[in-house]
Amino acid sequence: QKEVEQNSGPLSVPEGAIASLNCTYSDRGSQSFFWYRQYSGKSPELIMFIYSNGDKEDGRFTAQLNKASQYVSLLIRDSQPSDSATYLCAALTGGFKTIFGAGTRLFVKA
Amino acid sequence: SAVISQKPSRDICQRGTSLTIQCQVDSQVTMMFWYRQQPGQSLTLIATANQGSEATYESGFVIDKFPISRPNLTFSTLTVSNMSPEDSSIYLCSGGQGSLGGGVTEAFFGQGTRLTVV
């Protein structure tokens, strides 16, 4: 069973702090990894994708991938109340299917 | 990035009836997928919509219950057949481009269809 595991949270951080979201995956054949943000009642929105080991930065977001440890993370710098949402980690498996984690709820306190 | 228009956005249906959900992409995409999301849960893949051929279903989902069409690279439908209250959920389509080199595939979602079966 191919799985993507996330801490369901909630994760609470003060405004301006760094939010760190973590994810592990079981399928070593996974090729690409995605972070989606989902506001309540809305569809998931792609924030970042990463497929090479190391860090990838886009604005306030940094995705980190460690394939040896089967670990993906998302850092949100200078967190804002508008970042409060559920963050879904997803892995593209060798079968070209995307498996989603259960999501981590993030609360950014003003 | 491409935009997917999904409709209806919500519906309330009687048990035993069927509902067809449509997704239209504003550009050609290699792949389209259908997901279900129960309240407070993550996304569960129902099937991969294949252009011009039968969809590929995940374990627990069958064609008779969830027939899918994909006549071209920009359009797909999912039908929820013979509905029961257990089918109440949010249904989402997604699409994207991909490559075996690990490029982005599912990058965008439709707005979702909130289905309530009574």
Calpha distance B56→B47 (Å, rounded): 5
What pLDDT score was predicted for residue B99?
Answer: 57
Provide CB contacts within 8 A for B40, sequence distance 6+: none
Look at residue B50 in the predicted model and tell me its pLDDT: 85
For chain A, say whether B112 makes contact (Cβ under 8 Å): yes
Q: Is B97 on the interface with A (CB under 8 A)?
A: no
**Which of the listed ranges A22-31, A68-77, B45-54, B105-114 does the model predict with the highest average pLDDT?**
A68-77
From CA B19, how far away is CA B74, in angstroms rounded?
A: 20
Pairwise CA distance, residues A28 & A21, whole Å: 20
pLDDT in tens, A30-71: 888 999 999 998 889 989 889 889 999 999 999 999 999 999
> Which one-letter DSSP state was computed for residue B82?
S
Q: How far apart are CA B4 and CA B6, in angstroms?
A: 6
Distance CA B50, CA B34 (A): 11
Residues A92, A31: contact at Cβ < 8 Å?
Answer: yes
Q: Is A40 on the interface with B (CB under 8 A)?
A: no
A42: its two tokens: 């809305």
